[in-house]
Amino acid sequence: MKKILAVALSILMLLPFTFLFASAEATVLTESELIFDEEGKFRIAVFADCQDDVFPDARMLKMIEYCIETEKPDFVVLDGDNICQPVYALHNQAATTLLESLAKAGVPFGFVFGNHDAETLSKDLIMQSFHNCGATCLTYNSDDSITGLGNCNLPVMSSDGSGEIAFNLFLIDSNMYDEVNGGYDYVHEDQIEWYRNTSLALEEAAGEKVYSLVFQHIIVPEIFDLMVEVEESEKQYTYNGKHYKYEFIDGVTKSCENFGEQPCPPNTNHGQVDAMLERGDVLGIVTGHDHTNSFVVNYNGIDFIQTPGITFQSYGAKEARGYRIIDIDEADTSTYTTYVVKYADVFDDGEKAITLEIIQVTIREFFKLFTTLFKTIGNIIGIARS
């Protein structure tokens, strides 16, 4: 009841707090609060497709809390489709609840946009919401002139306190839907040029190429170059007129925890991976989007690091739901290690989980009705005043 009252009161706070973003000129960070620890280690936790609302599923929250307490990450990335909430105050309440364990532990986070995030609330308001949620959000907008929002780099500094750049993280908006070619959107040419320029600037600042990981929501089209192509009679799915089955070609798989659905990249290829191969500083592209897929495969030297969905509100699979951990060692930043922790391997809820789900669905449906009534009353008041 206290939580419902708090949410109701938050509705009155419809005007978001002011948050200052980057100027019109591109910003390249060459220092940040992210730093390798005294042992030269840096750990990232990736939560993909939380895709929940102002009443986040208790099982997902339990998984996040377990990760923060057990894995002790230095940084968390929300890898897109994070919160589905159409009213700013409610989105802010949802973000506060979702990231409460991070705020308590003092763990900073960054996020990228997925295809669903801005369907009902603008990206600007979502950015403000995450910066006002109580946990420390490091995502910013590096360049106002390019496609998307939240395209930025976050350097990880050397453990020796010298202020030297030891590693780098790129957070990139893979956008929503392709209105020209159909299907999902992609990382646009101006974003690719931004990446290239930022990569060069980091190399100049560090005196050498800075190895990086890229975080974005939607997987890249090259994933199908690594799939086994078959005749139509044997197909399990079709992409751009070619037929495939749920299997990778020989020699590319580093790990595969689950392969439960067709990868869903954009329909067209705009050269993102080629640009990153040309620069030679990207170790891997970390994606979400396909909730029941979890694997790491290599494409000409760049890993495609698919992270399973952690959501319980949206679709998923018992054998897939979980989070990904990525470890970087300052002694050799040209490589990384990674593993996935699944909910089913950590928790065994049994009948309690079923009862909990029924209760949460009931609360969620009640809240949807409450939101609809709130909007209707607002519309009536607006009409009466006009």
Q: Are residues 221 and 359 in the same domain?
A: no
Q: Are residues 304 and 365 in the same domain?
A: no
Q: Are residues 314 and 384 in the same domain?
A: no
For residue 3, the model assigns a pLDDT of: 43
What range does the domain containing 373 cover? 352-386
**pTM of the entire structure?**
0.87
Q: Are residues 72 and 184 in the same domain?
A: yes
List, for residues 96-113, the tens digit of each pLDDT value: 999 999 999 999 999 999
Q: Are residues 253 and 132 in the same domain?
A: yes
Q: What is the mean pLDDT of residues 64-86?
A: 96
Q: Are residues 125 and 188 in the same domain?
A: yes
Q: Are residues 242 and 120 in the same domain?
A: yes
List, for residues 255-280, the tens digit of each pLDDT value: 999 999 999 999 999 999 999 999 99
How many other C-beta atoms are found inside a 10 Å radius of the C-beta of residue 236? 13
> Which amino acid would we find at residue 385?
R
Q: 238 - beta bridge partners?
A: 243
Q: Are residues 373 and 327 in the same domain?
A: no
Q: What is the mean pLDDT of residues 221-229?
A: 98
How many other C-beta atoms are found inside a 10 Å radius of the C-beta of residue 284? 24
Q: Are residues 329 and 365 in the same domain?
A: no
pLDDT of 343 over the 50 cut: yes
List, for residues 202-220, the tens digit of each pLDDT value: 999 999 999 999 999 999 9
For residue 21, the model assigns a pLDDT of: 33
Q: Is the dihedral of CA 248, 253, 256, 261 positive or negative?
A: negative
Query: What Å distances lie between residue 377 and 92, 295, 312, CA to CA?
Result: 22, 47, 31
Q: Are residues 271 and 236 in the same domain?
A: yes
Mean pLDDT of the chain: 89
Q: Are residues 340 and 358 in the same domain?
A: no
Given its phi and psi angles, is residue 232 left (phi above 0), alpha (psi -120 to 50 degrees) or beta? alpha
Report the relative pairing of strands 253-259 and 165-171 from DSSP bridges.
Answer: unpaired
**Model confidence band, residue 6 (pLDDT cutoffs 50, 70, 90):** very low
The better pLDDT of the pair 194, 369 is held by: 194
For residue 283, the model assigns a pLDDT of: 99
Q: Is the dihedral of CA 279, 284, 288, 292 positive or negative?
A: positive
What CATH number is associated with residue 38?
A: 3.60.21.10
Give the count of domains, the chain: 2
The better pLDDT of the pair 188, 5 is held by: 188
Q: How many CA atoms lie within 13 A of 45 on its CB side?
A: 25
Q: What are phi and psi for residue 222, nearest 5 degrees?
A: -60, -10
Q: Are 133 and 10 in contact (CB under 8 A)?
A: no
Contacts of 47 (CB under 8 A, 6+ apart): 64, 67, 76, 77, 78, 79, 310, 323
Q: Are residues 265 and 357 in the same domain?
A: no
> Which amino acid would we find at residue 205?
A
**Model confidence band, residue 158 (pLDDT cutoffs 50, 70, 90):** very high
